[in-house]
């Protein structure tokens, strides 16, 4: 049981480049989300999805796009990377029936130069 | 003001000692509360839920004070392996808020 798989683990981009962070879960969770973590700021919600075909904005959505074409996958796209997007990104999922536990991916450390 | 606030620390704790720290929240509608442990920028891992009556899991004790809107975590008989950052999380009708974390360093 792989849980939440997040790739890549590390990425360096130049300003203006685009990329997609991949997130997949094999637990049939309805809810998936993306967070970024910056020093002193805690985990901040970027986008989330409560099921295939449904996405919504979190606290800090600007500069990011998401889609949810399947239950399993929830990619995060940076269309034109900016240095302010240098951060550690975590994907997380949960089962609505067992509301408490968030399952996190292992994180992506992104640097934008 | 942040919705969830934590003392960033670090709390330097001798091995075997007790350490406690709080997490304050501003949203009185918060219903559920949790403590997570995070090591060296790895993913947060759920340590324990916090129940109204307080709860204990081995050396860890969590308390909730709704009147003053904070939760606490106490670690007894600290081990070197307890060195980590401890994040709190609140849940208000599906809206999750995380604190920035409290760093604990257990020293020999």
Q: What is the pLDDT of residues B73-82, one digit of tens each?
A: 999 999 999 9
Does the beta-carbon distance from B41 to A37 stay under 8 Å? yes
Could you read off the pLDDT tens digit of each residue along chain A, which spans 113 residues?
Answer: 679 999 999 999 999 999 999 999 999 999 999 999 998 888 999 999 999 999 999 999 999 999 999 999 999 999 999 999 999 999 999 987 766 788 999 999 999 99
Give CA–CA dist A66/B12, Å, rounded: 41
Does the beta-carbon distance from B100 to A42 stay under 8 Å? yes
- From chain A, the residues in CB contact with B46 under 8 A are 100-102
Q: What is the pLDDT of residues B19-58, one digit of tens each?
A: 999 999 998 888 899 999 999 879 999 999 998 888 999 9
Tell whether omega for the bond before A67 is within 30 degrees of 0, i.e. cis. no
Residue B1: its pLDDT value, please?
Answer: 67
Of B34, B46, B87, the CB nearest to A42: B87
Does the beta-carbon distance from B41 to A105 stay under 8 Å? no
CA distance A85 to chain B (A): 16
User: A34, A37, A47, A59: which to substitute to probe chain B, counting the most B Cβ within 10 Å?
Assistant: A37
CA distance A17 to chain B (A): 25
Residue A1: its pLDDT value, please?
Answer: 61
Through-space distance between the first and last CA atoms of chain A, rounded to whole angstroms: 36
Q: Which residue has the tokens 């997949």?
A: A24
Give CA–CA dist A85/A63, Å, rounded: 8
Residue A99: its pLDDT value, please?
Answer: 64
User: How is residue B82 annotated by DSSP?
Assistant: G
Residue A39: its pLDDT value, please?
Answer: 85
- Asked if B42 reaches chain A (Cβ–Cβ under 8 Å), the answer is yes
């Amino acid at each position: 049981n792989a849980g939440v798989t997040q790739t890549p683990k590390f990425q360096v981009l130049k300003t203006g480049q685009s990329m997609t962070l991949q997130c997949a879960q094999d637990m049939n969770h309805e809810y998936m989300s993306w967070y970024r973590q910056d020093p002193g700021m805690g985990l901040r919600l970027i986008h989330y999805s409560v099921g295939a075909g449904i996405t919504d904005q979190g606290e800090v959505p600007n500069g990011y796009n998401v889609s949810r074409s399947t239950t399993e996958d929830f990619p995060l796209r940076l269309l034109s990377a900016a240095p302010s997007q240098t951060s550690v990104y975590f994907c997380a999922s949960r089962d609505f029936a067992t509301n408490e536990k968030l399952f996190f991916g292992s994180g992506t450390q992104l640097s934008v130069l | 003001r942040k919705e969830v606030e934590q003392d960033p620390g670090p709390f330097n704790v001798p091995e075997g000692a007790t350490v406690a720290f709080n997490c304050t929240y501003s949203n009185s509608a918060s219903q559920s509360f949790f403590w997570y442990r995070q090591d060296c920028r790895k993913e947060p891992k759920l340590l324990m839920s916090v129940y109204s009556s307080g709860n204990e899991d081995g050396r860890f004790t969590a308390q909730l004070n709704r009147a003053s809107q904070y939760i606490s975590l106490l670690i007894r008989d600290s081990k070197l392996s307890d060195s980590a950052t401890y994040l709190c999380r609140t849940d208000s009708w599906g809206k999750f808020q995380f604190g920035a974390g409290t760093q604990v360093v257990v020293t020999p």
